Amino acid sequence: MVVKEGTNELSTKLVDKSIEAFILGLEIYNKPTIKYRIEGFSFFNINAWELMLKAELLNRGEEIFYRQNGRTISISDVIKKIYTDKNQPLRLNLEKIIELRNTSTHFITEDYETIYAPFFQANVFNFTEQIKRFHNIEMSKHIAQNFLTLSVDVKTLTNEEIRATYTSEIAERLITVKDDASFVMSENSSNDLYIPLRHDFYITKNPKKADLTVGIDNKSDVKIKVVKEMQDPSDRYKLTYGNIVKSVNKQLSAKSIKFNYVTAKGNCEFNTYTLELFSDFYSIKSNDKYAFKFANVYRYSQQLVDFIISEIQKDADLIEHIKNAKEKR
């Protein structure tokens, strides 16, 4: 198909508007005084994707208008054209948020945030990755890196608490959405689909093993309960070695984090070799915060991805320093 005159100009304008829509969605979501942030984020986020992907179709020489009425094609049709595999995690992620956007004209409770926040966070990293892939744009040049990590209220209600809080119609709708989201996540552990958001607290007398320290006051009026039972580990350790590598590279790219390790192929990226070095150096497999062994196979938590990213942010030459330290042992 021959590209029409002015297509490049239109494509550029679409990308520029896409960047603005994406940033606006992030600003709405990360502003604590806005209660409409779930709906606002879904509106502007999907608009950003639609504009960005339509620009890509134009660059490919494809039509973005319906011939019969002159209107532009829908976001759902755009997604099907670019992401042809209906089971692709990134496509599933977009379709979940479109589903939310389409129902946002109806009543949406604040408890939808707990359900959709893992999809939102994955979507943010997906967008920065795809706009770089298609249009060679680094989002970190347009918005501060810390804005790419969403400020999330992670309270979780049980089905019983939901029914006690809302009318029966709203409660059953919310429970259905929650159960559907849980099923989708149970079927695929890719960070392209969702990024788990959770905080686990452990009591240890060794401060070197702690992320934060607290004091114990027997006279305090505030009480806590120590939970000794181990929850189902499959709920927490969902990531494979390959998932960890992909997730780390996604965040390095999305946040434009400097990482000074060049592979044999000449690429600057995190791979299974660097993960093995990192895992051995930090004794990851013996730390139940990060790893768990299922039938002689290790699976990993999202916290491991976060830990790796935090260490690379502190030291771009981390792998080289690990290799040097291992040689001195």
Distance, CA of 193 to CA of 90 (rounded, Å): 6
In this structure, the answer to whether residues 11 and 136 fall within a common structural domain is yes
134 and 56 Cβ atoms separated by less than 8 Å = yes
**What distances in angstroms separate CA 238 from CA 8, 110, 241, 263, one per listed residue?**
43, 27, 10, 27
In this structure, the answer to whether residues 176 and 240 fall within a common structural domain is no
pLDDT score at 2: 36
pLDDT score at 125: 94
pLDDT tens digits along 104-122 = 656 666 778 888 889 999 9
15, two tokens: 């990308």
Indicate the residue among 153, 187, 221 that finishes a domain. Answer: 187
pLDDT tens digits along 149-184 = 888 765 666 788 788 887 888 788 888 888 888 878
pLDDT tens digits along 41-65 = 999 999 999 999 999 999 999 989 8
Give pTM, 2 decimals: 0.73
Domain assignment present for 20 = yes
In this structure, the answer to whether residues 46 and 141 fall within a common structural domain is yes
In this structure, the answer to whether residues 161 and 267 fall within a common structural domain is no
Count of H-run helices and E-run strands, the chain: 11, 2
Indicate the residue among 152, 187, 222 that finishes a domain. Answer: 187
pLDDT score at 204: 59
pLDDT score at 74: 92
pLDDT score at 100: 87
pLDDT tens digits along 189-232 = 888 988 876 544 455 566 555 555 555 556 555 555 554 444 55
The b-or-e profile of 30-61 (16+ CB within 10 A means b, else e) is beeeeeebbbbbbbbbbbbbbbbbbbbbbbee
In this structure, the answer to whether residues 166 and 241 fall within a common structural domain is no
In this structure, the answer to whether residues 40 and 178 fall within a common structural domain is yes
Domain assignment present for 168 = yes
In this structure, the answer to whether residues 49 and 106 fall within a common structural domain is yes
pLDDT score at 187: 78
Which of 73-77, 193-197, 298-302 shows the lowest per-residue confidence on average (mean pLDDT)? 193-197
pLDDT score at 154: 59
Which of 66-70, 251-255, 289-293 shows the lowest per-residue confidence on average (mean pLDDT)? 66-70
Distance, CA of 128 to CA of 88 (rounded, Å): 17
Q: State which residues form the domain around 258.
A: 233-328
In this structure, the answer to whether residues 168 and 245 fall within a common structural domain is no
In this structure, the answer to whether residues 37 and 131 fall within a common structural domain is yes
In this structure, the answer to whether residues 171 and 259 fall within a common structural domain is no
Give the mean pLDDT of 236-240: 84
Distance, CA of 75 to CA of 260 (rounded, Å): 38
Distance, CA of 177 to CA of 162 (rounded, Å): 12
Closest to 151 in 3D by CA, of 127, 120, 174:
120
Domain assignment present for 127 = yes
Distance, CA of 101 to CA of 317 (rounded, Å): 42
Q: How many domains does the chain have?
A: 2
In this structure, the answer to whether residues 158 and 255 fall within a common structural domain is no
In this structure, the answer to whether residues 180 and 308 fall within a common structural domain is no
